[in-house]
């Protein structure tokens, strides 16, 4: 990669999420880190969720509530990624390539991806099952859970997917169903079990539900307050998130 490559351009244009990592390390607070990089508190939470979801392991550990909006600190992986980014600011990307850092450059490419989908989960292709003009793609997420995506054969070929390929699974928050634990799953559906971390009330429309997965990733779903009450779901409740394979879009990192 040279300084005018697509990845170098993206690093120059969009450093804010990785700058947020540096401020979390320095401030120990999501609220103070958000203010330092010019983000709202909610936008900072979203950015941290995206970073944790796309990395091989969570980059930030946080505690909810308390004075200042809760504490936060970088994990060992977060410190490693931050150090890598700081090196990229100091030296030419070509020097990193010559040192054999292609894997880390690919990781940064994943972390800098931006889409309109609220949920972005990193993983690897574990199987491809042909189904007429479509393929059912089995994906092992970074946290170890598995989901399936149904895409066209042409999309499989255009993305160059094969067993072991790195992918990013994208799901809209509105396409996820929040269910009680052990709820049944449709034959062509996916299920991820986790626990509600936060409920963000809305004046109108559905509430935002943030669900922590066992592997450290986070999902964002939308659910009507009435349904949450009927199912006795609150912060801390175990839940099952279900969604169809056709709801999953796939992307590949740089």
The C-alpha atoms of residue 124 and residue 122 are separated, in whole angstroms, by 7
Q: Are residues 178 and 77 in the same domain?
A: no
Please tell me the pTM assigned to this model.
Answer: 0.64
> In this structure, are 106 and 170 located in the same domain?
no
> What is the residue-wise DSSP string for 18-69?
HHHHHHHHHHSBHHHHHHHHT--HHHHHHHHHHHHHHSSS-SEEE--SSGGG
Task: Please give the share of the chain, as a percent, with pLDDT higher than 90.
Answer: 44
Per-residue confidence (pLDDT) for residue 101, from 0 to 100: 54
Residue 67 predicted with pLDDT over 80: no
Judgement on whether residues 107 and 82 belong to the same structural domain of the protein: yes
Q: Which of 81, 111, 141 is the last residue of a domain?
A: 111
Alpha carbons 63 and 60: distance in angstroms, whole number: 10
pLDDT tens per residue, range 73-122: 999 999 998 888 777 666 544 544 444 455 665 666 556 555 556 788 88
**In the listed set 87, 111, 135, which residue is the last one of a domain according to the structure?**
111
Q: Name the domain count of the chain.
A: 2
pLDDT greater than 90 at residue 232 = yes
Closest by CA to 208, choosing from 46, 97, 84, 7, is 46
In a domain, 27, yes or no: yes
For the chain, what percent of residues have pLDDT higher than 70? 79
Top pLDDT among 7 and 197 is at 197
> Using CA atoms, how far apart are residues 30 and 190, in angstroms rounded to an integer?
32
Q: How far apart are CA 114 and CA 59, in angstroms?
A: 18
Q: Which of 98-112, 130-144, 168-182, 207-221 has the lowest mean pLDDT?
A: 98-112
Biggest CA–CA distance in the chain, Å, is 58
**What is the tens place of the pLDDT at every residue in 7-56?**
444 444 446 778 898 999 999 988 899 999 888 888 888 888 888 888 88
69: region left, alpha or beta (phi > 0 left; psi from -120 to 50 alpha): left
Q: What angle, rounded to 10 degrees, do the helices at 102-111 and 6-13 form?
A: 50
Which of the four pLDDT bands, split at 50, 70 and 90, describes residue 68? very low
- Check residue 143 and give its pLDDT: 80
Domain ranges, residue 63: 6-111
């Amino acid at each position: 990669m040279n300084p005018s490559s697509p990845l170098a351009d993206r690093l120059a244009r969009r450093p804010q999420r990785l700058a947020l990592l540096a401020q979390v390390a320095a401030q120990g607070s999501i609220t103070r880190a958000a203010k330092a990089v010019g983000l709202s508190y909610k936008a900072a939470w979203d950015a941290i969720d995206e970073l944790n979801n796309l990395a091989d392991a969570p980059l930030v550990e946080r505690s909810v509530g308390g004075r200042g909006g809760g504490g936060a600190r970088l994990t060992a992986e977060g410190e490693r990624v931050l150090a890598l980014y700081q090196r990229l600011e100091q030296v030419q990307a070509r020097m990193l390539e010559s040192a054999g850092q292609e894997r880390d450059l690919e990781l940064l490419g994943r972390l800098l991806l931006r889409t309109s989908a609220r949920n972005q989960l990193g993983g690897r292709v574990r199987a491809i099952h042909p189904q007429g003009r479509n393929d059912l793609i089995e994906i092992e997420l970074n946290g170890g859970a598995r989901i399936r995506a149904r895409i066209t054969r042409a999309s499989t070929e255009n993305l160059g997917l094969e067993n072991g390929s790195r992918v990013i699974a994208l799901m809209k928050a509105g396409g996820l169903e929040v269910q009680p634990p052990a709820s049944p799953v449709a034959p062509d559906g996916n299920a991820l079990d986790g626990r509600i971390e936060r409920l963000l009330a809305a004046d109108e429309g559905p509430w935002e539900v943030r669900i922590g997965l066992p592997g450290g990733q986070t999902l964002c779903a939308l659910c009507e307050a009435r349904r949450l009450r009927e199912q006795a779901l609150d912060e801390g409740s175990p839940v099952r998130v279900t969604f169809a394979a056709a709801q999953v879009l796939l992307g590949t990192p740089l």
